[in-house]
Structure 1
């Protein structure tokens, strides 16, 4: 089933459509979420919340503004960032056991593998080094534009401009 065939079914709240939607997109959305949250359990919980948000807010999706996948990807990424910034999440991570430190090290070694599972890494690597750096911070590590500005020690406006230009370059590579 194509995305164009799926959208009307979702808008009509067809339960089969939810299953198809999940089957088509859950792996790639999970990769993005787990890349930000690191812990599998947190990523799984967030993925479930993301699909509920998608299902409840599908009426706000507009094909004229972009692809369904892009819209869902933004929901997933924003949900993961919201989870990272939540007070409860931060408090739960303050007292980590030594087992968690081993998992954190292993997870950081697998970051490229998780990014590559959605196929975007090869395209990001084609960008200018500054673009790779900005996309890494903003999209794969969950930094805000202000945090990226501070980290890179460049003005916020420059980060915004580079981000916009880099995303346009990435779109060009993805269209080829």
Structure 2
């Protein structure tokens, strides 16, 4: 099979649903970098991220028939699978036990955390999402980054930012509405 250099989204979806290996190869070649960056922001470990990405591509392959174009773009569906898989992975009992047994310096380089997050955001940015996020109010941008890139729940965000849960929910909703409007301009 010869490599495919560009596939329209509708064609890619059809190929995926038909379990065509070219679709899988295309997805991996064109999306794995962005998905890896997102997963790494959530799990903060290359070893764990490799496992998460493997699980993500298996889920995409096995669940391609559940994708519904009426509910959103393929990329959005894939991003949600990645985010949810990474969060589920981090909340799993085995990973939680393993993290408890690690010393902090081996797991998180606290001094380089800001630089690390910036690097990951840059690796995801080839899709242009950083530009979109930069158009949001700073308080909304922070919530979206914490929820979607760092894997915090709304309750955890409320505690971390010391703001009421209702405020987090309202701001997140408003941010998502605004993101939807901004993304319409990018079409």
TM-score, normalised on structure 1? 0.90
Aligned to 2:181: 172
* Residue 142 of structure 1 pairs with residue 151 of structure 2: yes
**Match of residue 15, structure 2, among 9, 12, 21:** 9
Aligned length: 176
Aligned to 2:46: 40
Equivalent residues in 2 for 1:27-66, closer than 5 Å: 27-66=33-72
| C-alpha separation in 1, matches of 2:123 and 2:99 | 27
**Match of residue 123, structure 2, among 103, 113, 117:** 117
| C-alpha separation in 2, matches of 1:48 and 1:107 | 25
What SS does structure 1 have at the residue aligned with 2:101? coil
Give the stretch that moved more between structures: 24-33 or 163-172: 163-172
Give the stretch that moved more between structures: 105-114 or 15-24: 105-114
Shift of 1:170: 2.1
**Match of residue 25, structure 1, among 19, 24, 31:** 31
Aligned to 1:80: 86
**Match of residue 153, structure 1, among 146, 149, 162:** 162
Q: CA RMSD in A?
A: 1.9
TM-score, normalised on structure 2? 0.85
Shift of 1:96: 2.3
Moved over 6 A (4+): none
Shift of 1:141: 1.6
CA gap 1:55/1:101 in 2 versus in 1, 3 angstroms: closer
Shift of 1:18: 1.1
Identify unmatched segments of 5+ residues in structure 2.
Answer: 1-6
